[in-house]
Structure 1
Amino acid sequence: MAGAVRQQAAAREKGPAPVDPAPELPVARVLVDVPLAHLDRPFDYTVPRKLDADVVAGSRVKVRFAGQDVDGFVLERVPSSEHPGRLAPLRRAVSGEPVLSRAVAALSEEVAARYAGTRSDVLRLAVPPRHATVEKQESVPASPVEVDPAEVAADWAPYDGGRFTGRLAAGESPHAVWAALPGEDWARLLALAAAATAASGRGALLCAPDRRDVDRLDAALTSVLGAGRHVVLAADAGPSARYRAFLAVARGAVRIVVGTRAAAFAPVHDLGLVAMWDDGDDLYAEPRAPYPHTREVLLTRGQLEGCAVLVGGFARTVEGEYLIRTGWAEELSADRRVLRARSPHVAITGATDRELERDPRARSARLPRAVFDAVRAGLEQGPVLLQTPRQGYVTSLACDRCRAPARCRACTGPLRILAPTDPPTCRWCGVSEPQWACPECGGRGLRAPVLGERRTAEELGRAFPAVPVRTSGGERVLAEVGAEPALVVATPGAEPVAAGGYSCVVLLDTWLMLARPDLRTGEESLRRWLNAVALGRPAGDGGRVLAVGEPSDPVLQALVRWDPVGFAQREMAERQSAHLPPASRLATVTGTEPDLESALASLRLPAGSEVLGPVPVTLPAGPVPPRAAGEPDLQRLVLRVPRAAGPALSRALVELNGVRSARKLTSLRVQVDPVGLE
C-alpha cells in the first residue's frame, strides 16, 4: 500500500506522460465553452496522434480546463504555438463532424463584440446540441434549382421592375429595404428571391419571426423550388429534426434555409442572400445573453460574407429607414397609384354626435354604431376580422361606481375574470375574490375597462347569433380561415389569413396600444395595425377598415394614408433630435447600486458619453420574488454615446466584464441597444 502511494507521488512529480503529437499541424486552437469574459479567447492544445483524423476545424472536442473536462470547438489547426510552456493534450474528439464553419466562427466573434458578450454564449445560439444518431446518417444532396427569370421579374415588377431579383440571378449582392404592398403574398416573393439567388449558384437564408410565418415560407419555397431543395431550422422542430436539418446545411447538401431567429447563424455554403420579413417584430430580439437582434446579425453577416441583404415588411422600422438614409440600402417600394389600387379603404371611427346626444357615455363605447354597421355589411361579402390588443376574457377590472382599479386584498395585485362563470381572481397570486368590495367607496359592482379576445368574441356572438365566431390568440393561433362569412377575433400577431382576404377589418382599443410607455410605442402600434390591415381586400373589391380611436392621432393618420415610410422618416427625425437609437448607441447596465458605482469608477467610456441614472428597475407585473434580508434592490444605468462611438462603448463594456470576471465580482447584466427602453 505504501509503495503504491510512493509511486503515485513520484508520477505527480514527473508530470503527465508525454503525448505523441500528430505528425502534421499538431496544435489545435480551441474555443473553450466557458462563459467567463476574461477567458473569452482561443487556447492552444496538443493534438494526439490517435485523434489526428477526427480533430478538424469546426469539430467538437473535450479539453481539460481549470481541473475539469469541458466542451470546446476547434477553430483551426496550426504547426506551432506561441505559448512558451508545454501544451496540454486534447482529452477526446467528441465528433469528427465540422459543425462550426469559418464564416460562422467569424460572425460569432463580431456579434459578441457588438453586444459586449462572449463567443461561447453566441455559439450556444448558433450551433444546436449534438445528436449522435442523426450524425451517422448521410445528408441527401438537393438537386439543382431551376427558375424562370421572367416569372421572378413579373412578380417583383410592381416594386422595381424586377431589377433586384435580376441582380441576384446575375450573382450580384445588392442591399434593399422592401415596403410590401397590402395583400401581398410576401412569402412567395421571398421564395422567388431565394430561387433567383440559387440560380446564380449561391445559397439563401430567410428569417421570419414565428413558426406560423416560417410555415408560410416553407410552403412557398416548396411551391417555387420543389420539394427537398430547402430546409427549415426552428427550435420547436425537436432535437433530432433540427440537427438533421442543420447538418444538411453544414455539409452543403442544401443551400436554402428558412427559420426563426436562430437560423440567422445557419452555416450556408456560398451564401448569396440573407433576408428577413417584418424586422420590427420583437420576437427577433434574443432573450438570452448577449441578447443579439436578428436584423443586426444578418446585416453583420452581409458585410462579412459580401452577400445580398433584403429587409422587408408591410411596416418600415426606423432602423430600416436609417439603412436607406445612409445609402447602405436601396428602397424597394411601389408607385403610389399601385398602392391606392391595392389598399382597402381605411377610416377612423368613434361615437357620433347623435349617439352622444342620446347617451353621453357613448364617447367611451368600445364598439360604436359605425362598427356594427360595418361588420354587418362585411358579413354579407365574407369573413370579418376584429383585432383586440389583449388576450383572455376580462383582463382588468375597476369599481363600477368610482372607477378605482379593483385590487386583491392579499397582495394588491390586479383582479381579472378568466371565464363567464368564474369569480374575480388575482392576476399575481391567484386568490379568488367572490365578495370583493371597493375600499374607496364601498361599491360592489365591477366594470371591465379592458376586455380580452374571448370576451369580445362572446359579445359579438350575442350581437350576431347566426354567424360563427372564431378566436385566435395565446396558445391557440389559427393559420387560415375560409372565405365564408365569419367573425374572427384575434390578438395582434395572431390574425389568420383569410382566403380571398377579409371584407372588413376592425381595430379595437387603439388607445390601449398607444398607451404603452415605450420608445417604440408608435412604431410598434403602426406595425401591428398594418399587418392586420394588409389581410383585407382592396377597396375596389369592397375591402374596408375601421379603427376605433382618436382621429387626430398621428399614428392612426399614418395608417389611414398607408404611409409607413413617412412615419418612419418622422420618427427618425425625432430620434435624431433626441439623440436616441439608431442615431446614437445605448447600453443598459443592471445591478445593485454598489456594483454599479464600482463599475462606473473603472469603466473607460469613449468621448461624448452620457451616463443616465441609475434608476430602480421596473419589475414586471406579477408577484415580486422574495429577497434575502438586507439584499439591495436592482438598479439600471443607461449609457449613451454617438453612433460612431458605438464600437468603443462595446469594447469598454467587454473590458469591464473581463475585469469583474477575473476578480470574481458579481456579474452585471449588460444589454447593448435593447429593443425596449421604458
Structure 2
Amino acid sequence: MIEAPGSTPASGPVRSVAKVLIDSSVPQLDRLFDYGIPDQWVDAAVPGVRVRVPLRSAGRVADGIIVEIASRGEYVGTLSELDSVVSPIRVLAPEVWALARRAADRAAGSATDIVRLAVPKRQVRVEAALLAAEQAPAVVTSPPAPIESYGVGVLESAIAGNERLAVDAVPLVREVHPADAESTWVGGWAVTMAAAAAATIAGRRSAILAVPDYRDQEQLHSALLDVLPGSQVVRLDARQSNPDRYRAFLRCLGDEPIVIIGNRSVVYAPARTLGLIALWDDGDPLHSEPLSPYVHARDAALVRQEQQSCALMFFGHSRSTEVERLVEIGWLRSVSPRPLQLPKVIPTAQQSSEDRLAAQARIPSTAWKIARTALETGPVLVQVARPGYAPRLTCADCQQTARCMRCEGPLLQKTARSVPACAWCGALAAAWKCQHCEGEKLRFVGVGTIRTAEDLGRAFPGIRIIVADGEHQVQAVGSGPALVIATRGAEPIAAGGYRAVLLLDGERMVARESLRVGEDCLRWWSNAVALAAGGAPSVLVGVGGALASTLVTWRHADYARSELADRRSLRFPPAIRVATVTGSVEAVEAAVAASGVSGIDVLGPVDLEPPLVRTILRFDYANGTDVAAALRSELIRSATSRRKRAGSRQGYAPATPNLRIRLDDVEPFLDS
C-alpha cells in the first residue's frame, strides 16, 4: 500500500490522485506517493510537472515530480494534498521515467538518482523566456546523402528497421564544412554518425548521440552542422552553464525531430519520437556513471532501445568485450566498412638505436627515420603514456617508489626545473626523505610529455613541438611540419591527417595491472592510428604478440572474441555479472545472505579502511533480476535501521557505516 507521508486514515475514496516521485536520496523514498489534488491545481497538476508536497515530520515540504494521475489511489483514507505546482512545463517525459525505473531496478539503485541526472535544475528565467516565445516553424531538410562506407543503404535500412548494430568505424580523418563556419577536420566515425543522424531526421524521428568527452563532441557537432541546420542539433552536456543546459533540455521536450548530442547522461534526454541511439567508443571509462546507481551509458542505451523500439548503434575503432558478447548472443549485428583500407601499422622492438639522434630521443632507428621523412610534408603524432616530466620517482638508493611524507601518495615531477610534488595532495617534496632507507636523493623513472618533447626537440632541431595533455589542451593542429606529443585520449586532429604516428610507452601501458588492459591499449592505439592520413605509417614501439598482431591486421573483433572466451572460462565480467557489496562486516554478511540465489560465487570479504569490508558477488545474467531485487531490499532495510546515539538529543541516527551496493562494478578488477 502506497500513501503520502503524513496521510491520516479515514473512510471514503479519493476523487483524483497524483502519484509523486519525491526528490530525495533516501533509498526508502524511491517509490511513488499518493497525494490529493486541491481544486486550485486540478488543471495544472499533470504528469511530468514539478510540484511541492508536504512531508510528515515538522510540517516540511519537499520537491517532487508528478509521474501519473489516477482516478483514485490505493490508499483508502484522507490523503495529504499537493502544496503547489511549481511549473507548468512537463519536465519528466513518460519514456524517461520508464527508463529510469527499469535501469535503477537493474542496478539495485534508486530511480530518483537517475531522474536527477536526466532533469536539470529549474531555471526560472529560461522557463519564462520559453513560455513567452512563439513556436518555431518546422524545418524542412533536404534528403541526406547515402552512407556509402558500409554499402549503399545498409545503415539507412537498419535505422528504418530499428536494428541493433556494432559498427566498426572507418579509420580516417575527413574534412567537413559546417554552415557559417570554417571547414574543419574530424574523425571518419563522426561523419558516419552524423550521416546516420541525418537519415533518422529524414524519417521524422529524433536521434541521441553519446560520446565520451568534449573533444569527441566538438568533432561530432561539426560533422552534424555539415549535413543538418543548427536548429535541429541540440548539445546537452555537463560542461554547459546551468541556464544553457536547461535551455537545451527544454528544446528536447518538443515534438519536432532533433539530434541530441552530449556525454554519458544524454541517453536520458527526452525524445518522444526516438529513432536512433548511437554511442561512440563505449569502452571509454568516461561512459561509466560515477554517481549512484552507476549505470553505464551502454546499459542505459540497451534498456531504452528495447523500451522505445528504436535503432541502436555502437561505433568504435576497437571493440569492447561487452559489445562482442552482445554480438555473439545475436543481440547486435556486426557491420564493417566495405572495402576497409587497413591502416599501415609497423611493430618494432624497443632497442638501443645505432643512430645518434635516434638514441638521443630514446626511440628505435625505424621510428626515427619514419618520423624524419614524415616531417618533410606534415605533422607527426607521438603518443606517450603519461603527462609531465617524470611520471614516477624512486629513491636513488633503494629504488623504492618515492612517497609523499604527508599522505603516502606517489611523487611526480611536472617539469625539469619544478620541485617534485605529490600526485594526490599536491604537497611539495622539498625536504623529502625515503621512509625505507632515509635516502634523500630521487631518481627519475619513466618519461612524460614534457621530457619526451625535450628529447625529441634535440633529435629534430628546428621542428615545432606541440604538447597536448590534461594541462595543455589542444584540439586541432595545422598541416605544417610539427611534432605533436600527446597523452592517450588527448590527441588533437591534424588537418589532412598525421603523416606518421609513433606509439611509444607500449610496454608501460601493457604492464598495467588491469582486467581490461588489452582492450584499453588497443582502444588507445587504434584511436591514434585512425588520425593518420591515408597510407601514412604508424609505428608501435616495444609491443608484440596478440596485441601487435591485432593492430597490424585490424581484426579487433577477433581479439575481443578471444578475450571474452578467456573471461568466460575464468568467470570474469562481462561473461558474467558482478556486484560489489561494501560496508560493515554485519551489513555485508546480511546483504550476501539476502542475495541467496543458487549459482552465486562469493569472493571475500576483503578488508578496506576500517571498519569497512568488501565482498564481490558473481552471478549469471539470468539471475540478475533476482539478485538486484534482493540487494536493493537489503539496502533499504539497512538504511531504515536506527540505533540510539548515546547522549544525543537528536534521538535516533542512521546506522553507520552505510551499506553500498554497486552492480557491474569493474573497479575491483582495475589497477588501483
TM-score > 0.5, shorter chain as reference: yes
List per-residue Cα deviations over 1:608-643 (Å, max 9, x = no partner). 1111101134x8xxxxxxxxxxxx342211011112
**2:486 equivalent in structure 1:** 490
Alignment of 1:221-300 (within 5 A): 221-253=224-256, 255-300=258-303
Q: Does 2:587 align with 1:636?
A: no
C-alpha spacing 1:133/1:161, structure 2 compared with 1 (3 Å): same
The reply to whether residue 654 of structure 1 matches residue 632 of structure 2 is yes
Distance in 2, matches of 1:585 and 1:49, equals 50
| Aligned twin of 2:321 | 318
Secondary structure, in 3 states, of the residue corresponding to 1:580? Answer: coil
The 3-state SS of whatever aligns with 1:38 is: helix
Whether the 8 Å CA contact 1:179–1:312 is kept in 2: the answer is yes
Q: In structure 2, which of residues 641, 656, 659 is the aligned counterpart of residue 663 of structure 1?
A: 641
Q: Which has the higher helix share?
A: 1
1:319–1:582 Cα contact (<8 Å) kept:
yes
Structure 2: tracts of 5 or more residues without a match: 1-6, 174-187, 643-654
Partners of 1:77 and 1:420 lie apart in 2 by 66
1:215 aligns with 2:218: yes
Using a 3 Å threshold, how does the CA distance of structure 1 residues 142 and 510 change in structure 2: closer, same or farther? farther
Aligned to 2:390: 394
Matches within 5 A, 1:518-529: 518-529=514-525
Q: Closer, same or farther in 2 for the Cα pair 1:145/1:475, shift >3 Å?
A: farther
Contact 2:353 2:365 in 1 (8 A): no
Letter in 1 for 2:605: P
**Amino acid paired to 2:329:** T
1:537 & 1:428 partners in 2: Cα distance? Answer: 39
Give, as a single letter, the amino acid of the residue that structure 1 aligns with 2:171: P
Distance 2:256 2:39 in 1: 31
Change (3 A) 1:435 1:365: farther
Counterpart CA distance in 1 for 2:437 and 2:83 is 73
Cα deviation code 1:24-82 (max 9, x no counterpart): x6311111112222332111111111112221110000001232211111011111112
Output the TM-score relative to the length of structure 1.
0.87
**Where does residue 179 of structure 1 map in the other structure?**
168
Match of 2:508 in 1: 512
2:412 alignment partner in structure 1: 416
Aligned to 2:115: 123
Is this contact kept in 1: 2:17–2:69, CA < 8 A? yes
> What is the aligned counterpart of 1:612 among 595, 603, 606?
603
Q: Which residue of 2 aligns with 1:583?
A: 575
Residues 230-262 of structure 1 show CA distances to partners (whole Å, capped at 9, x for unaligned) of 210011111111111111111334532111111
- Which residue is 1:148 aligned to? 143
Task: Give yes or no for the alignment of 1:63 onto 2:53.
Answer: yes
CA apart distance, 1:576: 1.1
Q: 2:334 aligns with which of 331, 334, 353?
A: 331
Determine whether 1:457 maps to 2:453: yes
SS of the equivalent of 2:232 reads coil
Q: Tell me how large the CA RMSD over aligned residues is.
A: 2.5
Deviations 1:450-483 (A, max 9, x none): 2221221122222223011111111432111111
In the alignment, structure 1 segments of 5+ residues that lack a partner are 1-14, 620-631
Residues 148 and 348 of structure 1: is their aligned pair in 2 closer, same or farther, counting only changes over 3 Å? farther
Q: What's the offset of the Cα at 1:365?
A: 8.9
Q: Classify the secondary structure of the residue corresponding to 2:597.
A: coil
Of 548, 557, 575 in structure 1, the residue corresponding to residue 541 of structure 2 is 548
Instruction: State the distance in 2 between where 1:186 and 1:142 align.
Output: 31
Aligned amino acid, residue 490 of structure 1: A
Relative to structure 1, is the Cα distance of residues 97 and 432 closer, same or farther in structure 2, using a 3 angstrom cutoff? closer
SS of 1:611 mapped into structure 2:
strand
Displacement after TM superposition at 1:417 (Å): 1.8
Q: 1:167 to 1:568 in 2, by over 3 A?
A: closer
* 1:119-145 Cα distance to aligned partner (Å, 9 max, x none): 111111111101111112236546335
Alignment partner of 1:157: what SS? coil
Q: Distance in 2 between matches of 1:575 and 1:147?
A: 48
Residues in 2 aligned to 1:555 and 1:342: alpha-carbon distance in whole angstroms? 16
Paired with 1:35 and 1:442, the residues of 2 have a C-alpha distance of 48
Counterparts of 1:437 and 1:288 in 2: how far apart (Å)? 38
Using a 3 Å threshold, how does the CA distance of structure 1 residues 441 and 653 change in structure 2: closer, same or farther?
closer
Instruction: Name the SS of the counterpart of 1:29 in structure 2.
Output: strand
Match of 2:38 in 1: 48
Answering whether residue 586 of structure 2 is matched by residue 594 of structure 1, we say yes
More divergent stretch after superposition (370-379 vs 562-571) = 370-379
Closer, same or farther: CA 79–178 of 1 in aligned 2, 3 Å: same
Query: Quick one: structure 1 residues 551 and 38, their matched pair in 2 at CA, closer, same or farther if it must change by over 3 Å?
Result: same
Structure 1 stretch displaced more, 405-414 or 656-665? 405-414
Q: Does 1:161 align with 2:161?
A: no
Q: How does 1:299-378 map to 2 (within 5 A)?
A: 299-335=302-338, 338-339=339-340, 341-351=341-351, 366-378=362-374
1 CA distance for matches of 2:106 and 2:392?
A: 41
Structure 1 residue 190: deviation in Å? 0.8
Counterpart CA distance in 2 for 1:349 and 1:181 is 28
Of 8, 16, 27, which aligns to 1:26? 16
Match of 1:8 in 2: none
Q: Give the corresponding residue for 2:649.
A: none
Find the aligned partners of 1:375 and 1:401 in 2 and give their Cα distance.
37
SS in 2 for 1:224: coil
Distance 1:147 1:79, change over 3 A: same
1:85 counterpart residue number: 77
Amino acid at match of 2:40: K
Conservation of the 8 A alpha-carbon contact between 1:107 and 1:301: yes
Q: Distance in 2 between matches of 1:459 and 1:353?
A: 14
Deviation of 1:349 (Å): 3.0
Cα deviation, 1:179-227, whole Å, max 9, x if unaligned, reads 1121152112111111111111111111111112112111111110122
Secondary structure of the 1:225 match is coil
Structure-2 separation of matches of 1:206 and 1:427: 35
SS of residue paired to 2:34: strand
Give the Å deviation of 1:101.
0.7
Contact 1:230 / 1:254 at 8 angstroms: preserved in 2? no
Specify the alignment match of 1:503 in structure 2.
Answer: 499
The number of aligned residues is: 626
Q: Match of 2:182? A: none
Partner of 1:12: none
The percent of aligned pairs where both chains have the same amino acid is: 39
Query: Could you tell me whether the CA contact under 8 Å between 1:261 and 1:284 is conserved in 2?
Result: yes
Comparing 320-329 with 98-107, greater Cα deviation is found at: 320-329
Once residues 85 and 101 of structure 2 are traced to their aligned partners in structure 1, the CA distance between those partners, rounded to angstroms, is 23
